[in-house]
A and B are shown apart, each in its own frame.
Chain A
Amino acid sequence: MKSINLTLKVWRQERGSDKGRFETYDATGISTDMSFLEMLDVVNERLTLEGKEPIAFDHDCREGICGMCGAMVNGYAHGHESGTTLCQLHMRHFSDGDTIVIEPWRSRAFKVVKDLVVDRSAFDKIIQEGGYISVNTGGAPDGNTIPVPQDVAEKAMDAASCIGCGACVAACPNGSAMLFVGAKISQFALLPQGRPEAKDRVLAMLNMHDELGFGNCSNERECEARCPKNISIVNIARMNREFIKAALLSE
């Protein structure tokens, strides 16, 4: 088993209202088989033994499906490997002696709660505005009564693979959440079940996005490059089409 020694520069911030600063820690004897979060666990273990406050970071599934984890690692959201969440980033992608700078997502809409933990409830607010379809209760309808072409279903599924981690916002030079909103709108816009509310959905979700203080998309494409689920900006283009249809073309 190979092990490496690293120097960490970690953003420490006691609470949201505090100023925050970088602290330097040595991470010695880190197995290259560990994930990034396991490496932080080791560092935290030692900090606790020394009687210091461990580094706070968000995580849950640790298998890249829940979207809880995430931090800027050397300027890359979720680290430099593409299509990977922070929990699935392995230490074998780092070399002995590396210095790693770890910062929380930075956005006006994502307030730092503590250290690397940010409040992403802004995403929930956007979802509440239309990230759903309305279905009446009653007997369950038969499956496959509404035909959906396979390629369309695939596209909807690709959009629906968004785990809401916030990396698109963090990586966007403008702090925009358009990839998230575009994916959430696309997954419904593509399917017949999503069409009845399509018009209201795009307008409501977009208004909420803007209201929360996210930036404006200028097609920098950094979001799709950093998305752990490789969601494409084609979804942003689709959202723009939905917006044009809803705001300009329909009466």
Chain B
Amino acid sequence: MQLVLRIIRTSIGKKLLMAFTGLCFCCFLVIHLAGNLSVYGGADTFNSYVNHLHSLGVLVHIAELALLVLAIVHIVTGTVLFIENLRARPVRYSVTRRSGGRTWGSATMPYTGFLILVFLVCHISWFIYAGREYQTVYQILTGLFSNPVVILLYCAAVLVVALHISHGFWSLFQTFGLNHNAYMPAIRALGIIFAVIVAMGFGTIPLYLGL
């Protein structure tokens, strides 16, 4: 308990929480993407993937619960950090310039984070209220993505996730203290590649189904 308190209290501790939960989400995204890509196998392949996943029963619920806890930790910690960092500079500069460290990804972390939360709420509630009793998940998807507005919003959300990853991925290595001149450039490149893969992987599915 003392250990938990010590971590939550300090700035590096909070940073470690963000990095750890972020790492878990990166892993989750890989699995999620791998599953989703079965869409390209057609309706049967995709539906059998969905059924296999659901047949895991209690394991699915455990995973869901774990993700929920991780999300709460990530969101609450992130919000605390956002507020603390605003308060750390009560008088703003009249002129601010970047010197090459800050990127679009890093500058927008709290905002892209918030947008992802909004997206997640929509994403999850769609599937809860879609009525899975009388149609397959594949049908739900094709129905949903027959609307160009939905396609557009979904792709926009995927890009936001990619932007969040473009900073978050390498950043979590730095936070864990894994920064070495020999491999840091590779990790940074890997982060960008991962972001592009997520954007392309998730982003092309609605285009494939809808168009």
Contact = CB atoms under 8 A, between A and B. Distances in A.
Contact of A240 (B91, B109, B175): B175
Contacts of A4: none
B99 A226 contact: yes
A72 interface: yes
Contact of A218 (B96, B98, B109, B180): B109
B88 A213 contact: yes
A173 B11 contact: no
B100 interface: yes
Interface residues of A, number: 50
Contacts of B7: 247-248
B3 interface: yes
Contact of B96 (A75, A209, A244): A75
A32 B34 CA distance: 61
A187 interface: no
Contact of B85 (A72, A215, A239, A248): A215
B152 to A, nearest CB: 30
A115 interface: no
B57 interface: no
A173 B97 contact: no
Contacts of A213: 87-88
Given A219-B167, A221-B102, A241 B88 contact: no
Contact of A222 (B89, B101, B176): B101
B63 interface: no
Nearest to A244: B177
Nearest to B100: A225
B192 to A, nearest CB: 15
B10 A173 contact: no
Interface string A105-126: 0111100000000000000000
Interface in A208-251: 209-210, 213-226, 233-234, 236-241, 243-244, 247-248
Contact of A238 (B81, B99, B177): B177
Nearest to A239: B12
B106 interface: yes
B11 A216 contact: yes
Contacts of A239: 12, 177
A178 B175 CA distance: 12
Interface string A33-47: 000000000000000
Interface string A3-22: 00000000000000000001
Given A74-B97, A171-B99, 17 more contacts: A107-B89, A108-B89, A173-B85, A173-B107, A176-B85, A210-B11, A214-B11, A215-B88, A219-B170, A220-B107, A221-B102, A221-B106, A236-B179, A240-B177, A243-B10, A248-B3, A248-B7
Interface of B: 3, 6-7, 9-16, 81, 84-85, 87-102, 106-107, 109, 167, 170-171, 174-181
Interface of A: 22, 72, 74-76, 80, 82, 101, 103, 106-109, 171, 173-176, 178, 203, 206-207, 209-210, 213-226, 233-234, 236-241, 243-244, 247-248
